[in-house]
Chains A and B, each alone.
Chain A
Amino acid sequence: MTEPRFESIPAVREGLRKVDYLADEGIAGIVYLADRLQKPILVEGPAGTGKTQLAKSVAEMIGARLIRLQCYEGLDEAKALYEWNYKKQLLRIQATGDGDSWSEVEDDLFSDDFLLERPLLEAIRAEDPVVLLIDEVDRVEVETEALLLEILSDYQVSIPELGTVQAKQIPLVFLTSNNTRELSEALKRRCLFLHVDYPDMEREKEIVLTKVPDITENLADQVARIVRSLRQLELKKSPSVSETLDWANTLMLLGIEQVDAETASGTANILLKYQSDIAKAVREFAADKQGMKQFAPGPK
C-alpha cells in the first residue's frame, strides 16, 4: 500500500546525517526495517541519548509532520485518542427545531463535526505524511498501554459510534521509554526494539563537531575523551549526550581551547548532576601520576 520511504540502509544513514543526526549502523538499520515491515519502533535507553531527537530527525528527513503524544500518569482515551465535543453536542440539541426528528439529531451528534481529534487519531487520519512520536511510554500505567495496541498493530482506531477508522497511510511510529518499568509483552511484541546507548567516542566527537558551532577538532576530541572516561566511573548518573553538548558549548563560551584538570573540575557541574559524582570526577581529574600507577595494571 504505502511506498517504501527509504532506498537502503546507507541511504537512511546519509539522510539522517543531512539533518544533523549521526546514526550508527543499528539505528539506521532499524529505521529502514521499520519502514519496510511497517512496524513501530520502541526506542529505549538512558536519558539524554537522543531518543526523541531520532523521531524528530526522521520526520525532518522525510519531510513529514511530527505528531507527538507525551505520555504521563493518568493519560486516558480522551487525551490520547479522541473525545466527543459534548459542549457542541449540547448546543446542537438545543438548537434543534421541531422539524428535526430525534434520529436525525442522533445521527448528526455522533458525526465527524463533533469529534475532537487527539494525537493518535490525528496521526491515523492524516492525509499528509506524518511521523507519530509516543514519548515516554513507560510513564503510563500498564492498563493504559492497551489503548495503544490497536493502533500499533493494525493502524486503526475503533470508535463505537463511528466504526473503525483505518489509516490512510501507514505512519512511521516511534515510542520512547526510559525504562522506569517493564513494558508489557503485548506492546513489546508489536514493536521493533532499539536500544540507544551512549555513543562511542568517535561518534560522540562527531556529534559535538556537528552540533557545536565553531568548535575545534582538538577540543571536541578532548571533550569526547573526558566524557568517555567519566562514563567508565561508577557514577549515580553518567553524563548524557545532551550534557556533553552543554559542556562543549560552555567551554566555547568561556573561550577555552585546551581542557586541563582545573577547567574540567571547575565546569564538572554541567556534566554531572550529583554532588558525590562531581566530587568523584574532580578526584579523578586531579589524580597525580602516583595515584595513576596504583590503578594501572603494572607488569606482573
Chain B
Amino acid sequence: MSDTATPAADGDAIAGEPLLDLLNGFIAELREAGLPVSLTENLDAMAAIRHIPLEDREAFKYALAATLVKNNAHWRSFETVFEVYFSLRGAKYGLDEEGLESELDDLLDDERDGPGEGGSGSDGQGGGQALTPEELQQLLFQAMMKGDSSLMRAIARQAVKRFAGMEPGRPVGGTYYLYRTLRNLDLDNLLERMMQAQREQAAADGQEMTPLEERLEQDELEHRINELKQEIEAEIRRRLVADRGVEAMAKTLRKPLPEDVDFMHASREEMVGLRKALIPLTRRLAVRLARKRRHNRRGPLDFRRTVRASLSYGGVPAEPKFRHPRPHKPEIFVIADISGSVAAFARFTLMLVYAISGQFSKVRSFVFIDGIDEVTSYFEGVEDVTEAVHRVNTEADVVWVDGHSDYGHAFEVFHNKWGKEIGPKTTVIILGDARNNYHASQSWVIKEMQHKARHVYWLNPEPKSYWDTGDSIVGDYGAHCDGVYECRNLRQLEKFVETLT
C-alpha cells in the first residue's frame, strides 16, 4: 500500500530523529509511568513497526499498543505518553500556523457552498483570524449541530490559538490553558442552545420530542462536546510539547495507574477511573476467592469411608477418602470512619466488601464520624451497592456533637450498643486514619474486641510515614489489633481483602 513501509525510510519519516532512539525514549517513559515493559516486548515493538506504514498514525499507535501494553487499565497512560511523544511528528501533525489558517478557510468555503447553510457573516477575507469571536461561536454551533468533525477540529485548534493565551516558557500547566479556552467557548451554554434548536426543529416538523428522544439527543450532543474538549486538550498538549520539549512534558503529564491512585488525594476524574476499575476487580476477586475455597478441599482422613472403599479392593485401603472440610466463612464487621478526608476510602472498601459478600457468612457495617450508626440494612436486598453507599453517606446518623471525627466516643457507643454481638467467628475491620482531634482514644474498646473477636484489623488510608504524627493515634489502637495495614490504593486494598477469607 505504501512505499514508506520499508525500514529504510524510517529515519526521515519521523521528523529526522532516528526511530530507534525515539522508541527507546518512548519505552523508557512508559516504564517511568509504571507500565511493565519487558525486553522482549520492546523487541516485538521494533519488529512490529517495520510492518506498518509509518505515516498511518493510528496503525502505528495500535502496533505499539499491541506489543507494549498488555493490560487495558494501562491504556490511558499509554495514550498520554504516545500523544506527547508523537504528537509533533509527521508532516500532517506538526504545528503549522499557515496551514491552520488555510484549513479553516477551506472548510469555511465548503460551509458557504453547502446547501442552505448560511455563511457566518464574514466575507471570507483573511480566514480564521478575521472571524470575530461571535462568528467563531456561530461556526462552532453549526459544526456541532451537524457533527462535522473536521470542521470541529479546525475550530478547536483555532480556539486554542486564540483564547488560551499561551506564552512560550510560561510555567503553568495545561489545565490552565484548557480552562481559559473552555471559558471562552462557553460549552454549557452551547449545549443548551443546541438542545433548544433541536426542540424547535422538532416542533417545526410538527412533532414534539418525547422525553426519550430528547434524552438521546442530549447524549449525542454531549458526546460531540466531549469530542471537542478532547480535541482542544490534544491541541494544547501539542503546543506545550512544542514549547517545552518531550521529556519535560511527559513528566508533568505522568499519571498514576488506576490501581495506584491514592484514595485520599484522587481528583474527580481519577475517582471515576477508580470506580470503573473497582467493578472488574471485585469480579476477579470473587472468582479467585471461590476458586481458592474449592481447591482447599482436602480435609482430614475419613476413616469410615476409606474402610468402605477398601472392600472393593479386598480390604486393602487403596483409595483413601477424605472429609470435606466445612468451608470457614467469616462474619465481617466493618466499622468505617466516613468523615471528609477518608470518606472516599470508606466508600471503596464498603463497595468492595459488599461486592464479595457471598464469601462471608454475614456482613454488618457501621459508620461513624463522632456518632456511630449501623447501616447494614441499607445493603440488604439491594443489588446496587453504589446506591446503598450513596444512602449511607447521606442518611446515616453519624453526627453527635460537631461532626469532627471522634473515634473514642464512636467506639464507646459501639461497645455499649453492639459490643456483645462480637463473637469468636467475627472479623472486625476498622477503617480510618485515626485522627482523633485530640479526644480521648478509648482504646480499651479495641482491646475488648480483640479478646472476643477472631481478628481485628485496622486499615489506614494514610501513608505509613504520617502515622502517629499530629493527632493521629493509630499506634494506640494498633497495639490491640491483629494487624494494621496501610491501604492507600486499590492494589493494597485488593491484597488485604484476599487475605481475609
Contacts and interface: CB of A to CB of B under 8 A. Distances in A.
Interface of A: 7-10, 25-26, 29-30, 32-33, 36-37, 39, 41-42, 44-45, 73, 179-182, 185, 188-189, 191-195, 201, 222, 225-226, 228-229, 232, 234, 236, 259-261, 264, 274-276, 280, 284-289, 292, 296-300
B383 A33 contact: no
Contact of B63 (A7, A33, A222): A33
B40 interface: yes
Contacts of A192: 44, 48, 66-67
B72 A225 contact: no
B52 interface: yes
Nearest to B213: A260
B260 to A, nearest CB: 15
Contacts of A26: 58, 62, 65
B249 to A, nearest CB: 25
B216 interface: yes
Most-contacted residue by chain A among B53, B67, B280, B291 (CB, 10 A): B67
Most-contacted residue by chain A among B1, B58, B195, B212 (CB, 10 A): B212
Interface in B279-302: 280, 283-284, 287-288, 291
Interface stretch (B104-112, B184-192, B362-370, B401-409): B184-192
Task: Tell me the dominant secondary structure on chain B's binding face.
Answer: helix
Contacts of B36: 185
Given A276-B384, A292-B218, A37 B192 contact: no
A92 to B, nearest CB: 27
A36 B51 contact: yes
B141 to A, nearest CB: 15
A10 B62 CA distance: 14
Contacts of B382: 276
27 contacts: A9-B1, A10-B1, A25-B59, A26-B62, A26-B65, A30-B66, A33-B48, A42-B70, A44-B72, A185-B38, A189-B70, A194-B66, A225-B216, A228-B219, A232-B219, A275-B383, A285-B212, A285-B215, A287-B215, A289-B214, A292-B218, A296-B191, A296-B218, A297-B188, A297-B191, A299-B188, A300-B188
A189 B66 CA distance: 11
Given A9-B56, A33-B52, A232-B219, A181 B284 contact: yes
B210 A260 contact: yes
B4 interface: no
Contact of B70 (A73, A193, A280, A284): A193
B386 A234 contact: yes
B185 to A, nearest CB: 13
Contact of B69 (A193, A259, A260): A193
A281 to B, nearest CB: 11
A289 B192 contact: no
B51 A37 contact: yes
A24 to B, nearest CB: 9
B75 A195 contact: yes
Contacts of A39: 44
Given A7-B1, A37-B48, A280-B384, A188 B70 contact: yes
Contacts of B287: 180-181
Given A192-B67, A298-B192, A299-B192, A284 B215 contact: yes
B211 interface: yes
Given A44-B72, A180-B284, A296 B51 contact: no
A179 B284 CA distance: 7
B66 A9 contact: no
B72 A195 contact: yes
B220 A225 contact: yes
Interface in B62-84: 62-63, 65-67, 69-72, 75
B15 interface: no
B115 to A, nearest CB: 21
B150 to A, nearest CB: 15
Interface in B331-386: 382-384, 386
Given A180-B287, A226-B216, 20 more contacts: A7-B1, A26-B65, A29-B63, A32-B51, A33-B63, A36-B51, A192-B67, A193-B71, A195-B72, A229-B216, A229-B219, A234-B275, A234-B386, A261-B212, A275-B383, A276-B382, A284-B215, A285-B212, A289-B214, A292-B214
B28 interface: no
A188 to B, nearest CB: 4
A8 B1 contact: yes
A146 B464 CA distance: 38
Closest 7 CB pairs of A and B: A276-B383, A8-B1, A188-B70, A192-B66, A36-B51, A261-B212, A29-B62
Contacts of B63: 29-30, 33
A46 to B, nearest CB: 9
A238 B72 CA distance: 18
A286 B211 CA distance: 7
Contact of A193 (B66, B214, B223, B387): B66
Contacts of B280: 179
Nearest to A300: B188
A195 B66 CA distance: 9
A27 to B, nearest CB: 9
Interface in B197-231: 210-212, 214-216, 218-220, 223
A260 B215 CA distance: 11
B66 A236 contact: no
Contacts of A229: 215-216, 219
Given A229-B215, A287-B215, A9 B284 contact: no
A33 B66 contact: yes
A235 to B, nearest CB: 9
B1 to A, nearest CB: 4
A298 B383 contact: no
B3 to A, nearest CB: 12
B476 interface: no
B114 to A, nearest CB: 21
A264 B212 contact: yes
